[in-house]
Amino acid sequence: MLKKFHNILGRLFLSGASFFWASCDSGTSAEKPSALIDVNQEMAKLKQPDTTGLKGQCISVKSYCDVIDDELSPFQNYYANTIAREKIDELLKSKNFSNEKRICYANLVPKELPAPLYGVPYCQQFSLIETYQNIVLPDNESDTSKEWFKSQQDKYQHYLKDNNLTACTPITDGVHIDDKYINAALQNEQRSREAFRSYLEYINKEAAECETFD
């Protein structure tokens, strides 16, 4: 009889303990704040590159160069920063935070990101050179002007030759898109997506730190 009684107490104790731990876990889960940004949701909004039918189309040399040199990817974080800024502004408007927590969130991301630190992008030089290819200067033009135009036209032709590009007709339409361009575009997109995800995950990590303030 005594042994049976002890067994009953043991089962009651285990049941109570299970309830106690379940209650604690449930409470902890309920109090754990959700991430500031749903990274997967934001990633799903990014458009996948469509290269169907691109090969052979005409594109400006500057645009071709931008992709080959990946000169546009540094600006991907500007979009991610805008998303983070909007989420924080919404949160600060909807919650009654302490001054410390409010300051932490307000300073989490800059209002604006600084521009990438470099001079004039290499590809920028081709923005006008293309228009010079069919220009014939008048005979009375100065030798200095003629030399300058010739240098620009030579620079353009050297770029085409170095990259094995085929000029469109007319030449001012740019160059034909090739496999090199398409592969570079896909690689750039992948790098941009990874940078985008990393930035948002970093913001979530920093936001979690802000939640430690009372």
**57-74 confidence digits (pLDDT tens):** 999 999 999 999 886 665
Half-sphere exposure of 6 (CA within 13 A, CB side): 3
In the prediction, which pLDDT does 142 show?
A: 85
CA gap 152, 61 in Å, rounded: 13
Angle between helices 179-210 and 76-94 (to 10 degrees): 30
Please list the residues that pair with 212 across neighbouring strands: none
Domain shared by 42 and 78, yes or no: yes
Domain shared by 27 and 84, yes or no: no
Evaluate whether 180 touches 166 at the Cβ level (below 8 Å): no
pLDDT per position as a tens digit, 170-212: 888 899 999 999 999 999 888 888 888 998 999 999 999 998 8
Cβ atoms within 10 Å of 124's Cβ, excluding its own:
13
Give the three-class secondary structure for 134.
Answer: coil
Angle between helices 179-210 and 99-106 (to 10 degrees): 170
Domain shared by 56 and 127, yes or no: yes
β 58-59/175-176 pair status: antiparallel
CA gap 196, 198 in Å, rounded: 6
Give the three-class secondary structure for 58.
Answer: strand
Residues of the chain with pLDDT under 70: 1-33, 71-76, 111-120
In the prediction, which pLDDT does 59 show?
A: 95
> Judging by beta carbons within 10 Å of its beta carbon (0-12, 13-18, 19+), is residue 206 exposed, middle or buried?
middle
**Model's pTM, two decimal places?**
0.69
Radius of gyration of the chain (CA): 30
Number of domains in the chain: 2
Domain shared by 2 and 63, yes or no: no
- For residue 108, which of 213, 17, 18, 13 has the smallest C-alpha distance? 213
For residue 47, what is the DSSP state?
A: P
Domain shared by 164 and 203, yes or no: yes
Domain shared by 116 and 96, yes or no: yes
In the prediction, which pLDDT does 46 show?
A: 87
In the prediction, which pLDDT does 159 show?
A: 92
CA gap 83, 190 in Å, rounded: 19
In the prediction, which pLDDT does 115 show?
A: 54
Structural domain for 17, as ranges: 1-31
Domain shared by 23 and 118, yes or no: no
Domain shared by 91 and 129, yes or no: yes
